Structure 1
Amino acid sequence: MEKPKISVAIIARDEADRIGGLLRSLGFADEIVVVDSGSTDGTQAICESFGARVVFNPWPGYVEQKQFALDATSHEWILSLDADEEVPDALAAEILRSIQQAGPNVAGISMPRLSRYLGRWIRHGGWYPDRKVRLVRRGRGRWQGVNPHDKLVADGDVIQLSQPFLHYVYRSISDQVVTMNRFSEIYAQQGASRRGWFVVAGVFHAIGKFLECYVWKFGFLDGIPGLIIAMNSAGYVFLKHAKRWERRLTEV
């Protein structure tokens, strides 16, 4: 039986410091497509040195860019990844076995994601197993969601794999704070709240988020990184509420 071919779809911008790890882990792939939205740090050259096809597309949003990358591939199965992720050999072998055995009713394949932050693999606080559909059959999957929270949805049955893919999530605490600020801005742009209680509600939601991450989902077992994750998660929740309220100041 002929082996089904796999394309890998990646979106990137200024990822020269870490995209090499991802590309080195993709030896099992038949095609690598990188959609770049305007890197100035040599990301494109690094990708081309690994045999990837680099396509430029101005940034339209997370959901739209990932769908653009998905559509730019050519093989039957498409694995969508971010520049800060990697595919270990054990997962690559499990992927190849699964698509070889997949019946026509199978539209997608999900796998757990294991994240590394502040020198530690994070296994609690809601960060693991963090299962994601990332592999879909051509024409049977589409990126959906509200930016910046995208989701790949398969139109049909989904197989669950046991081996995780790796996520080198933030470069530093500062990088996490920058990401929180950017994501909360995107959230705020989706509408404004004219009521002050919206900010007050954000306080209670933030407290609940901290308790969820650190206590109910055992984030304390991840040591100091687990505490930092819980605190920053709570801060992000509050920022979303506060910035949506703030927008009303520019709309009056």
Structure 2
Amino acid sequence: MLSVIVITKNAALHIDRCLTSVSWVDEIIIVDSGSTDDTLTRCARYTDKIFIHTDWQGFGVQKNRALQYAQSDWVLSLDADEVVTPDLQKAIKTVMQDSRYEAWQIPRLSRYCGRWMRHGGWYPDYVTRLFRRGSAHFSADLVHEKLLVTQGHIGQLTTPLLHYSFENLEEVLQKVNAYSSASAQMQFARGKQGGLSKAILHGLWAFIRTYIIRLGFLDGREGFMLAVSNAEGTYYRYLKLFYCQHHASNTAQPHRHDL
């Protein structure tokens, strides 16, 4: 038996495509963090197992909440903008019978502004998403959470999961802003240091790594656009980190009182 878990918030653009692709599973678990569009109405067409948790503590915490509701022997974690193809469906059904592994990595093929990206570090982009319930949980990271497999071995599939990550530039800009803020908060909590020089140097390196070292230029115009947006996200992350430090420093300064 297989449970699919999906966390959502204002995912009406993608959720039908995602849930249609897994209509064959034994149960679908939705954990929503306060959608204001018709995401929940759309989800209700596929499952009655919809739960609301609006005290957002990060992607990792929210996915662990969804995991707690799963009842099947195996769990597949999906983002609302991901799709399981018929070929991947067959592969998943096959490997769940393989007793050698407790979890499986799946290659992810992502779409950026109308193009499937095969370079720039975006493919095969293995993500561990399929696992036996009880053998893994998600890290408590605010963003870029990881599935932590605590027992058993991890296998690797060859059939890709489709990821409709960025439909247009508006979505790119929104996610760059949101993810750079969340990443800055995580790094601040870990004692990392930001600053203008670090923002410039790390941003430049992100562009070079994406466009040249990881052959992003082979993805044409969108390869260049992706390299720029990666650089922007990195640049703003280090600047936001600096301002987190600056704010904390000012807050910690004792107030002087005139005598």
What is the TM-score of this pair, normalised by structure 1? 0.92
Please give the residue correspondences for 1:123-142 in structure 2 after superposition, counting only pairs within 5 Å. Answer: 123-142=118-137
Post-superposition offset of 1:6: 0.2
Long gaps (5+) in structure 2:
251-259
Pairing partner for 1:81 from 78, 81, 88: 78
Task: Tell me the equivalent position of 1:225.
Answer: 222
Deviations along 1:119-162, whole A, 9 cap, x unmatched? 11100000000001001101101101632110112222011111
Please give the residue correspondences for 1:63-74 in structure 2 after superposition, counting only pairs within 5 Å. Answer: 63-74=60-71
Post-superposition offset of 1:78: 0.3
Task: Tell me the equivalent position of 2:42.
Answer: 46
Q: Confirm or deny that 1:168 pairs with 2:164.
A: yes
Post-superposition offset of 1:173: 1.3
Post-superposition offset of 1:194: 10
Pairing partner for 1:250 from 240, 247, 254: 247
Task: Tell me the equivalent position of 2:173.
Answer: 177
Q: Confirm or deny that 1:17 pairs with 2:17.
A: no
Q: Is the contact made by 1:194 and 1:245 (CA closer than 8 Å) also made in structure 2?
A: no
- Which amino acid in structure 2 is aligned with residue 200 of structure 1? S
Task: Tell me the equivalent position of 2:59.
Answer: 62
Q: Confirm or deny that 1:117 pairs with 2:103.
A: no
Q: Give the secondary-structure state (helix, strand or coil) at the position aligned to 1:106.
A: coil
Deviations along 1:81-133, whole A, 9 cap, x unmatched? 01000000000000001102x21x52101110000111111000000000010
Equivalent-residue separation in structure 2 for 1:183 and 1:119 (angstroms): 21
Equivalent-residue separation in structure 2 for 1:247 and 1:118 (angstroms): 32
Equivalent-residue separation in structure 2 for 1:218 and 1:194 (angstroms): 29
What is the TM-score of this pair, normalised by structure 2? 0.90
Q: Is the contact made by 1:194 and 1:248 (CA closer than 8 Å) also made in structure 2?
A: no
Post-superposition offset of 1:188: 2.6
Q: What is the aligned-residue identity percentage?
A: 35
Equivalent-residue separation in structure 1 for 2:42 and 2:237 (angstroms): 36
- Which amino acid in structure 1 is aligned with residue 134 of structure 2? G
Q: Is the contact made by 2:206 and 2:234 (CA closer than 8 Å) also made in structure 1?
A: yes
Equivalent-residue separation in structure 2 for 1:120 and 1:248 (angstroms): 38
Post-superposition offset of 1:247: 2.2
